[in-house]
Every structure is written in structure tokens, then in C-alpha cells.
Chain A
Amino acid sequence: MNAAYLYSLIAVVLLGLLAYAGVAVAGLEGLFGIFIPYVALIVFVAGFANRIIGWGKTPVPFRIPTTSGQQKSLPWVKHDKFDSPYNTIGVIGRMALEILLFRSLFKNSRVGFSDAGGYQKIYYKWVVWLWLFAILFHYAFLVTIVRHLRFFAEPVPFFVEMLAKVDGMMQVGAPGMYLSGVVLLGMAMLLLVRRIVLPKVKYISMAADYFPLLLIIGIAATGILMRHFAKVDVAAVKELTMGLATFRPAIPEGDISALFYVHMFFVSLLVAYIPFSKLMHMGGVFLSPTRNLPNNSRAVRHVNPWNYPVKTHTYEEYEDDFREKMKEAGLPVEKE
């Protein structure tokens, strides 16, 4: 699947150029700065809601948690409350560990063969990399998003200021470098490299895996570029974004380079792309029946809304089949 990442790379580069040229050559600031962001947001909200409601409308007919720990059974057997939750509190704990700490991914291991000791052994080695890249990537993304609220809120709320302060505590350069931006870019690159370099992961990767990663790399790169290398007038940028947030959209005076519109366009694309892609895992992770259900199906009955009567082989039919043999063997029968 060599083509998959090339296609995605070409697509992202072309889309970036499109926005750049659209603004720098054709002067379409309004299109890329106002129209497309609004459309993207509408598409996201409608698409996201539609997807979640679509999932919600489908029932969970059976309670099928994957149990990763000791069930609650006898009082003296130590019950694993989070890996085999028995009630809602346990489920909330399990889900929180899953969503906030990527617990399942943390268990990741790699299989290998070794002939140490005279015969071929299979070994399993705990590997932290995928978990590490993934969790840093996600948290860096979250911090970056929250930080960006400074462009969408006036006055800027204290938690945004606090976060920016922590994020910029390295005090490298002026304007100060944000850790989250660098980590986001770095991790996205590592996740991409991983897809290209590891044979198994490369084999399973599709265009739909490379495209969002490259798009995010594009977003992070243009953002860092604008902050440190090809600076823009941030006050003017905020005027534009505040216009969007207050439904008074306008393209402000001031020096906002075409690079900013590329950044905006990439973000819009990503936002609009979410509901139609694997990025819906952000909603799906909450709804996975193997994780979000308690392991108490023998104690509390789970109801299947589409349960229907089926044709069974009744005892009467069975006895009719075997009555003589049963009587001969001394087995009790209902009808003589």
C-alpha cells in the first residue's frame, strides 16, 4: 500500500496550495476565512449528531463486556472492580481509565521468537511506544484546542491563560514556544513514521489512516510556522475569529498572511471530515459494549428489545421421539 500515503500526502499538499492560492492570488479571504469554517462546523455538528444518534438507535441486545479481571462471585474472592466491573460505578471507573489513560493500549505487547535455551520460544514483550505516542498526541491536541480559545473568547477565560502559561513554561524564544504544539507535531510524525516503517502496520494502513494524520501534521506545522517563523498579526487574527464566534463575520484589516487561511482550511477540513471517518472513535469509545457494560449478567437480567420467540425442540417432542427407549432404560416419562 505504498500508494496510500502518497495519495494522502499529495491530497493534503494540493489542498494547502489551494487555500494559499485562493487567498494570495484570488483574494478569496471570505471563502476560506468565513464561509468554509461555518460550513465545516455545520457539517461536523450535523454529521456527529447523526452518527451518535444512529448508534444510539441501534440496541445493545446482549451484555457482552470483555472481562479483564476477576468477576464478583463469592464474597471472599477478591473482585477486580475496574477490569470486571459489577455496577455503574465500576463501569465509570473502567471507562475513565480507558478514555483518560488509554488503559487497554497500555497493555500492548510485541510477540517474538527466540531460540535461547535450546528450543524455539515465543516471547511477549511489553511495548510502551504506541501508547506513549498516542496519549501524548491526544493530550497535546486537547491542550492545543483549549489554548486556541484565546482566539474565540473575550475576555480570555482564566483557565485558558493558566493552561497557556503551563504550556509555555519552557520560555523558549519570543513569542514563547508551546510544548503542546511541538509535541502534537512530533507525535503525529511518529505515528505517521510508524505506519510507514513497521511492516505489519503499513500492511493494514489505508489512505483513510494517512490522510487525517497528514492533515493534522499540516495544521500543527502551519500553526507553529505562524507563531515562530512567518508571523501574522495575531490581533487581526483574533478579530476574524471573534467575528466568527459572535456571528459578525468580517475579514479584518491587518496583516493576516495566506498561511493563516491554509491553517484555517486544514482545520475546517479536519472538522468536517470527522463524522465520516474513523475519527468518530472519539464518540465510539464511549459506546463500546465490551467496555461500557457491567459484568453482572447473571445477577441482573439484560433485556433485548428484539428478542423473539424461536422454534425449539420441546421436551414433549423429545419424549415422543425416545419414549420406548427411555422406558426400557428406566427413565421416568411424562406420558406412558
Chain B
Amino acid sequence: MYDKGKIVTGLVIFFVILAFPFWYNRGASSPAPELELTDKAKQAEKCIEETAFMTKEHMQLLNQWRDAVARDGYRIYVSEDGDEYVASLTDTCMDCHSNKADFCDRCHDYVSVSPYCWDCHTYPEENN
């Protein structure tokens, strides 16, 4: 007894599941999203830290801010360059990056992260 039919069926099912990325995307290209900067952000030229740092570490920075502000009452962040900023998502970050949908969300959606920042924090009305 071989049960060849069952074995081949099982193998095919396994490979079909395995090939999920290939048939799900249908080969459609999906490069990393372009992030839009507001005029204010463009004018500032630089975020509070280097762009490469901000890309990778912003979430951790925000986390630290939250702890510093909420737990220790410490509201001022001093950047590498020595500039001082108010440690606030709404008042500092989103003052420049007021376009949540075209800045924050694009990247977050692309890599499927759903930060719980805005569970509490408000964000500016989209105005562009």
C-alpha cells in the first residue's frame, strides 16, 4: 500500500502554503514607502537627531520620553547636538510631523506595526 495520492496531496498543500508570499503578492512590486515631510519639517532640515538614528530608534526614544515624563516628571530632552526639546509626542514630534497619515502611518503600515501611542495621544487634524 502506498497512499501515493494522499502523500502527493499533502506535499502539494504544504508547498502551496509555503509559497504563500509568491502567490499572495502576485509579483507586484512594493518598495518601501516614500515619507512625506511637511513644509515645517522640510524647513527644519534635521529632526532632533540624525535621520538614520530616528528611523531605527524613534520608538525607543519615545518610550524613554514617556517614562521620563510620566514617571519622573522630567520634561526636557537634550539631543546629541546639545539642543533642548520638550519631550512630547504631540507637541514636539507632531508639531513638525503633523501629517500622521503620510508620515507615521505609511511606514508603520508597510512593516505592520501598530504602535499604541495614539491610544492616548491625540494627533493634529490632517490639513494637507
Contact A286/B30 with A150-B111, A174-B62, A302-B1 known, Cβ cut-off 8 Å: no
Contact A231/B31 with A59-B2, A154-B110, A238-B111 known, Cβ cut-off 8 Å: no
Instruction: Give every chain A residue within 8 A of B20 (Cβ-Cβ).
Output: 149, 152-153
Contact A161/B25 with A153-B20, A174-B60, A231-B56 known, Cβ cut-off 8 Å: no
Instruction: Give every chain B residue within 8 A of A304 (Cβ-Cβ).
Output: 1
Contact A161/B112 with A149-B21, A153-B21 known, Cβ cut-off 8 Å: yes
Bitwise interface map of B from 55 to 97 toward A, beta carbon under 8 Å scored 1, else 0: 1110110110000000000000000000000000000000000
**Number of B residues contacting the other chain (C-beta, 8 Å)?**
39
How far apart are the CA atoms of A61 and B3 in the complex, in Å?
12
Residue B24 interfacial (CB < 8 Å) = yes
Residue A165 interfacial (CB < 8 Å) = yes
Residue A248 interfacial (CB < 8 Å) = yes
Least CB distance, A59 to chain B, in whole angstroms: 5
Residue A69 interfacial (CB < 8 Å) = no
Is B3 within 8 A of A56, CB to CB? yes
What are 29 A-B interface contacts by the 8 Å CB criterion?
A56-B2, A56-B3, A57-B2, A57-B4, A59-B1, A149-B21, A152-B20, A154-B30, A155-B109, A157-B24, A173-B63, A174-B115, A233-B55, A235-B32, A235-B107, A235-B110, A235-B111, A238-B32, A238-B111, A242-B29, A242-B31, A245-B21, A246-B27, A247-B22, A248-B27, A254-B32, A254-B55, A255-B55, A287-B7
Bitwise interface map of B from 1 to 39 toward A, beta carbon under 8 Å scored 1, else 0: 111100110110001001011101101111111000000
Is B7 within 8 A of A153, CB to CB? no
**Number of A residues contacting the other chain (C-beta, 8 Å)?**
49
How far apart are the CA atoms of A327 and B114 in the complex, in Å?
94
Least CB distance, A60 to chain B, in whole angstroms: 5
Q: Of A53, A155, A234, A247, which is within 8 A of B27 by CB?
A: A247
How far apart are the CA atoms of A218 and B57 in the complex, in Å?
23
Residue A105 interfacial (CB < 8 Å) = no
Instruction: Give every chain B residue within 8 A of A287 (Cβ-Cβ).
Output: 7
Bitwise interface map of A from 44 to 58 toward B, beta carbon under 8 Å scored 1, else 0: 010001001101110
Is B11 within 8 A of A52, CB to CB? yes
Instruction: Give every chain A residue within 8 A of B111 (Cβ-Cβ).
Output: 150-151, 234-235, 238
Bitwise interface map of A from 162 to 174 toward B, beta carbon under 8 Å scored 1, else 0: 0011000001011
Least CB distance, B47 to chain A, in whole angstroms: 15
Q: Of A49, A152, A157, A236, which is within 8 A of B32 by CB?
A: A236
Is B112 within 8 A of A150, CB to CB? yes
How far apart are the CA atoms of A149 and B29 in the complex, in Å?
16
How far apart are the CA atoms of A157 and B60 in the complex, in Å?
26
Residue A305 interfacial (CB < 8 Å) = yes
Residue B116 interfacial (CB < 8 Å) = yes
How far apart are the CA atoms of A50 and B31 in the complex, in Å?
35
Least CB distance, A10 to chain B, in whole angstroms: 31
Contact A45/B15 with A161-B114, A233-B56, A254-B32 known, Cβ cut-off 8 Å: yes
Instruction: Give every chain B residue within 8 A of A238 (Cβ-Cβ).
Output: 32, 110-111
Is A242 within 8 A of B56, CB to CB? no
Residue A22 interfacial (CB < 8 Å) = no
Least CB distance, B125 to chain A, in whole angstroms: 26
How far apart are the CA atoms of A47 and B22 in the complex, in Å?
20
Least CB distance, B33 to chain A, in whole angstroms: 7
Least CB distance, B63 to chain A, in whole angstroms: 4
